[in-house]
Amino acid sequence: MPDHLHLIITGIDDEADLLKAIAGFKQKTGFSMSKSGWEVKWQKDFFDHVIKIDESLATNVKYILDNPVRKGIVTQWQEYPFKGSIGYNLEDILIGLI
């Protein structure tokens, strides 16, 4: 999305510090964007939502992928170039929802 970013992050153990992970992500990407000449800055805070055990990961992924569709940027989420996943195939996650 041109004005915001959605991430789903999973900790790999009970000691995972997701707040620290987000802070590090924003610091490193902010520095990189600044060095590249982008006039973009992260806002200080962020909104979070913990996906609970009784919630569907696929439903949350589909919501995120459909964001550029709802905004009229693309007609299908597959067309949006700025999507991706590390460790998961998006099509596999969405089986049963599409």
In the chain, the number of structural domains is 1
Domain hosting residue 75, numbered range: 18-93
pLDDT at 95: 84
53: its two tokens:
């055990």
What is the reported pLDDT for 68? 95
Q: Identify the DSSP state of 66.
A: T
Cα 76 to Cα 24, 60, 67, 81: the distances in Å are: 32, 17, 10, 11
Q: Bigger pLDDT: 12 or 75?
A: 75
Is residue 11, in this structure, part of any structural domain at all?
no
Token pair for 80: 């949006």
Closest by CA position to 49, among listed 37, 65, 40, 60: 60
Q: Where are the alpha helices (DSSP H) in 1-98?
A: 18-35, 57-65, 67-70, 90-93
pTM of the predicted model as reported, rounded to 2 decimal places: 0.80
Q: Is residue 65 part of a domain?
A: yes
Domain-embedded: residue 29: yes
Q: What is the pLDDT of residues 27-76, one digit of tens each?
A: 999 999 999 998 888 988 888 888 888 888 899 999 999 999 999 999 99
97 pLDDT exceeds 80?
no
Evaluate if residue 98 carries a pLDDT over 60: no
User: Has residue 23 been placed in a domain?
Assistant: yes
